[in-house]
Amino acid sequence: MLRLGQKVYIVADSFEQNLPVGEYGYIIAYDRNADNVFDYVVRIPKINKHFFVPSTDVELEEVLVQQEVDRLEREALIDFALATRNEELFRRIMNGEEVEEESKETAKEVQSQADFIKQVNLKAWI
């Protein structure tokens, strides 16, 4: 739950209330009515209005900045991988770190010599 006075951005207009998407506002109240779908009352200073909004329509400024940083970092890594022709880095970025998981799985599959002999003996017994 967001705090009173916290700066938020309008990211969606799920109930088509003509919310100013992309504008910032401040949380001025909670709507605690159980029969109401709205969670917050947000004041938008640019247009000098208050809006009832659900929690899905607002997002913190810090979260939006972090998402933008992550997107830019990913794009820069892709550009670097393409410029240096680093196929492993490119695949890791595009597949969401799956290359590292595969190497971990192969490391787990390595058995000691005693375990291998036990498995061979068990199969030979059957």
Annotate 46-107 with DSSP letters as a single string. Answer: TTTEEEEE-GGGEEEHHHHHHHHHHHHHHHHHHHHHHHHT-HHHHHHHHHTSHHHHHHHHHH
Neighbours of 101 (CB within 10 A): 11
State the chain's mean pLDDT as an integer.
86
- Residue 56: inside a domain, yes or no? yes
- Residue 45: inside a domain, yes or no? yes
Q: Residue 21: which residues within 8 A CB-CB, separation 6 or more?
A: 10, 11, 12, 13
pLDDT in tens, 69-115: 999 999 999 999 999 988 898 899 888 865 444 445 555 567 788 88
Measured distance CA(6)–CA(41) in Å, rounded: 12
- Residue 118: inside a domain, yes or no? no
State mean pLDDT over 27-45: 91
Is the pLDDT score of 48 beyond 80? yes
Measured distance CA(106)–CA(95) in Å, rounded: 18
Query: Which CATH number does the domain housing residue 23 bear?
Result: 2.30.30.40
Measured distance CA(30)–CA(116) in Å, rounded: 63
Radius of gyration of the chain (CA): 26
Domain that holds residue 51: 7-60
What is the pTM (predicted TM-score) of this model?
Answer: 0.63
- Residue 95: inside a domain, yes or no? no
pLDDT band at 51 (very low <50, low <70, confident <90, very high): very high
